[in-house]
Amino acid sequence: MSHLASTIGIALSTATGIVDTLVKKEMVLRGTDSHDRRLVICQLSPRGQELTNGLWTMGQAQMKKLLDGLTLGQLREAKEVAEFLLANVSQEDV
């Protein structure tokens, strides 16, 4: 849990609460490591994986709609803007 909390930049108690909610909604499975029972293992449940796949597919469809019909030059410009945005977000993580 502490690794999850630090990775996404939230308090441990917040991460635990979020995972508790996702477990109750059957989106996440929580277990323990057989070698170290102090470790909590979280993974998507089949229902959570299905939701994630659906969101990914919808995102891809939306991106296709945004990019369809653009010229090669416009696509290159869009790529450049996306790279600027990604670099900006990456700087915030440092």
Question: 32-61 pLDDT, tens per residue?
Answer: 888 988 888 999 999 999 999 999 999 999
pLDDT at 94 over 60: no
- Give yes or no for a contact between 1 and 19, defined as CB atoms under 8 angstroms apart: yes
Q: Which CATH class is domain 2-93?
A: mainly alpha
Domain range annotation of the chain? 2-93
Q: What whole-number distance in Å separates Cα of residue 81 and Cα of residue 94?
A: 21
Residue-level pLDDT at 90: 79
The two tokens of residue 15 are 């991460």
- Give yes or no for a contact between 28 and 42, defined as CB atoms under 8 angstroms apart: yes
Q: What whole-number distance in Å separates Cα of residue 35 and Cα of residue 52?
A: 29
